[in-house]
């Protein structure tokens, strides 16, 4: 359910792209340093976004460097290191661990169980350091699992679970910005949940898995369904962007450029790509009907 919160590269300057690469590679380096190779496998655009958001908001001392790694052994890549990158690494492990467990419980995929076991040794320390966040992740995934197993069609309730989860992850501390970050996460998490359902609609129909948009898809024709989905995505991102505008983040800073680009362009590019694939499949099916 991750990978939808990314940038739109064509709208960014070279310095902003280097900045993004620094946080992405910095998060990868932090995951490897703190959790080894299994940790690096949890790297995501979404937690990269979280590290950039918190770094832009709290302006910590950030060490910028370059380095090589196994995926990129020839050319050194920029890296950013600070407390919020490390925090994003911790949250990446917690989110991946519970996601692997849910996959195992739902689909009995042994690879998911093995992946969870590789991360399990790190959970006690992460829970001790971030009890509120870890409790929220577990509680909201449990609540979401119960709603999905009951065939729930209440999109607000479904989005609310994942949105509350992400809000707690984005809220680093109990400070002035906590309510704003909670609401920002609520909207962004709702968008991620719906986009994942939109992306997996055909696959879930074939496997018989729960999909939050299946009931809506069954009730509407193709054009009306696409229009309604876009409305739902816009509503969730509206919650996110309204909250984001309340944060004192400079739009012209490298981090600010990345955040504005992600919220107002990047996530929509992901939607456009998924929709284009769906339209292409539908046209091919109609030709062979």
Average pLDDT, the chain: 93
Q: What is the pLDDT of residues 70-120, one digit of tens each?
A: 777 788 889 999 999 999 999 999 999 998 998 887 777 788 899 999 999
- Mean pLDDT value across residues 155-172: 98
Among candidate residues 140, 135, 133, the one with its CA nearest the CA of residue 160: 140
Q: What is the pLDDT of residues 244-266, one digit of tens each?
A: 999 999 999 999 999 999 999 99
Evaluate if residue 286 carries a pLDDT over 80.
Answer: no
Q: What is the pLDDT of residues 167-184, one digit of tens each?
A: 999 999 999 999 999 999
**pLDDT at res. 289:** 60
Domain boundaries, the chain: 9-283
Q: What is the pLDDT of residues 192-225, one digit of tens each?
A: 999 999 999 999 999 899 999 999 999 999 999 9
**pLDDT at res. 110:** 87
CATH topology of domain 9-283: Farnesyl Diphosphate Synthase (1.10.600)
Evaluate if residue 1 carries a pLDDT over 80.
Answer: no
Q: Is 59 left (phi over 0), alpha (psi -120 to 50) or beta?
A: left
Phi and psi at 81, nearest 5°, equal -135, 125
Among candidate residues 166, 189, 275, 188, the one with its CA nearest the CA of residue 237: 188
CB 67 within 8 A of CB 76: yes
Other C-beta atoms lying within 10 Å of the C-beta of residue 274: 16
**pLDDT at res. 140:** 96
| Cβ neighbours for 192, distance < 8 A, ≥ 6 positions apart | 1, 2, 4, 5, 46, 162, 166
Percentage of the chain with pLDDT > 90?
Answer: 82
């Amino acid at each position: 359910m991750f990978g939808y919160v990314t940038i739109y590269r064509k709208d960014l300057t070279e310095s902003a792209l280097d900045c993004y690469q620094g946080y992405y590679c910095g998060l990868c380096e932090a995951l490897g340093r703190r959790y080894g190779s299994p940790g690096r496998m949890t790297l995501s655009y979404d937690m990269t976004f979280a590290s950039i958001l918190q770094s832009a908001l709290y302006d910590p001392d950030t060490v910028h460097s370059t380095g090589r790694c196994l995926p990129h052994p020839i050319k050194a890549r920029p890296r950013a290191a600070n407390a919020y990158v490390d925090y994003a690494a911790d949250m990446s492990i917690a989110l991946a661990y519970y996601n692997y467990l849910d996959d195992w419980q739902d689909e009995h995929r042994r690879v998911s169980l093995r992946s969870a076991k590789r991360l399990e040794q790190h959970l006690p320390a992460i829970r001790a350091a971030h009890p509120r966040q870890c409790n929220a992740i577990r509680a909201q995934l449990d609540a979401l699992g119960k709603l999905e197993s009951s065939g729930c069609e209440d999109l607000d309730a479904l989005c609310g679970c994942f949105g509350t989860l992400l809000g707690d992850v984005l809220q680093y501390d109990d400070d002035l910005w906590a309510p704003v970050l909670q609401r920002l996460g609520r909207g962004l998490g709702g968008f991620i949940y719906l986009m994942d359902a939109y992306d997996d609609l055909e696959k879930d129909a074939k496997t018989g898995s729960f999909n939050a948009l299946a009931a809506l898809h069954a009730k509407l024709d193709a054009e009306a369904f696409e229009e309604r989905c876009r409305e739902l995505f816009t509503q969730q991102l509206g919650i996110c962007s309204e909250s984001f505008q309340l944060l004192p983040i400079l739009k012209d800073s490298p981090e600010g450029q990345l955040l504005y680009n992600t919220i107002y362009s990047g996530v929509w590019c992901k939607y456009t790509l998924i929709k284009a694939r769906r339209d292409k499949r539908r046209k091919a099916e109609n030709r062979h009907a």
